[in-house]
Amino acid sequence: MSIAQLDREIIFDPEKREFPEFSLARLLGTVFDPTAGCRICILTDLEDMSLMKDFGFLQAEGHEVQKKAHEKFYLGLKDGVLDELGMSGGDMYAFKATGGSNLDLADACWDAEGKELSLDKDIYTNYDIVLCISNFSATAPLTAKCRDFGFRGATLHGVNDIILASGLSVDYNVVSADTENVRLAMSGADEIEIDFSLEDGQLLTLTILLSAQEAQKSHGLSQGDEPDVANLPAGEVYYVPVGAHGQFPMKYEDGTLGLMEVKDRDIVSATLISGNQATIDEQNARLKDDPMTGTLGELGFGTQVLPVSGADIQDEKILGTCHIATGRDDHLGGDIEPSMFKKHENSTHDDILFAPHKTPGIDLAQVRMKRGGQEVILIEHYRPSEYLLKALGVS
């Protein structure tokens, strides 16, 4: 069902939307059409590689994402989906957890017999479709590898029951069409201005310069023969910033709220608004040690009507939210590559999501797009504007 077919009440309250039951065959058949003749495998990440032997992680505490990968994807493929879609394989492998979003993967991996293998020599060369269901996103490294080895794939980090029942149960042909409509409405922007309103009355504005670039989309389809890696759940329009200046707030994992000062596309300093000063000090020390960690690499906007899942991979796709990312953006067509960071572990791509559930003390007061001398509102108070709704066909 397209967004144009949904009631406005549901668009503004996604928790009320109903979804069809999750179907692995429908998901894979749509995302990877054609599938006939394709050999598919599943990758996941583990801290303790011994837990891959005989799927030992199934008996270990935690490992919720890995257990979902085994239950819904590995067993699902074996339970008739391979035959239904004309595919083969269905094997599952684990690699060492990277510890950070979009860090490059070590080459070693392990199969269910506990045998050590090579991702380059044994996986990427022997499978046509690679599904990576992990704790940490691997979209950037797998995007680079798919270009080298010619496979298609999808990254589904942080999968949980809500995501399976909503963001992975939709028709991705429809998601792709909706996202393309938003992309066209936002393409060619000269700059985006974002106003953030804080509970203490402060109003911060961040301006991101885009040089009239063509907007890009994460729409969930990896169809045909071209090497590509989809990021699921999908439904996002994004840009690679060419410049930025101003201020924006950031909420840290410990609840600390900081003010980020941005000049020439870089976060140059952080100031405490509330919470723990030590958290801010750590941020400033990191910026001083490796300034690339503060470079803005993405500006993204959700295009879908989805319930909050508690995982950014879905929640950043919700219509009315936006996110900024720092770090590498080479997988998005940007110019920030891992080699530009002082240390490998710094070369992450980290999304900073602004959404009511994630940043309750921060209101996305208004987002404006300037294009060709005109200015239009995109979002006000986490609600899509009439301009975006019209682009989606909502009357």
DSSP structure string for 316-379: TTBBT-EEEEEE--GGGT-S--GGGSSSGGG--EEEEEE-TTT-TTEEEEEEEEEETTEEEEEE
pLDDT in tens, the chain (395 residues): 899 999 999 999 999 999 999 999 999 999 999 999 999 999 999 999 999 999 999 999 999 999 999 999 999 999 999 999 999 999 999 999 999 999 999 999 999 999 999 999 999 999 999 999 999 999 999 999 999 999 999 999 999 999 999 999 999 999 999 999 999 999 999 999 999 999 999 999 999 999 999 999 999 999 999 999 999 999 999 999 999 999 999 999 999 999 999 999 999 999 999 999 999 999 999 999 999 999 999 999 999 999 999 999 999 999 999 999 999 999 999 999 999 999 999 999 999 999 999 999 999 999 999 999 999 999 999 999 999 999 999 98
CA dihedral for 203, 208, 214, 219, sign (positive or negative): negative
Long-range Cβ contacts of 120-125 (<8 Å, 24+ apart): 120/145, 120/149, 123/41, 123/43, 123/93, 124/148, 124/149, 124/151, 125/149
Q: Which residues pair with 159 in a beta bridge?
A: none
CB–CB of 158/133 below 8 Å? Answer: no
For residue 303, which of 138, 188, 185 has the smallest C-alpha distance?
185
Domain 20-165 has CATH 3.40.50: yes
**Domain parsing of the chain, residue ranges:** 20-165, 172-391
> Quick one: tokens of 67?
């257990």
CA dihedral for 146, 147, 149, 151, sign (positive or negative): positive
- The Cα 4–Cα 378 span in angstroms is 17
DSSP structure string for 36-76: TT-EEEEEEEESSGGGGGGGGGGTSS--HHHHHIIIIIIHH
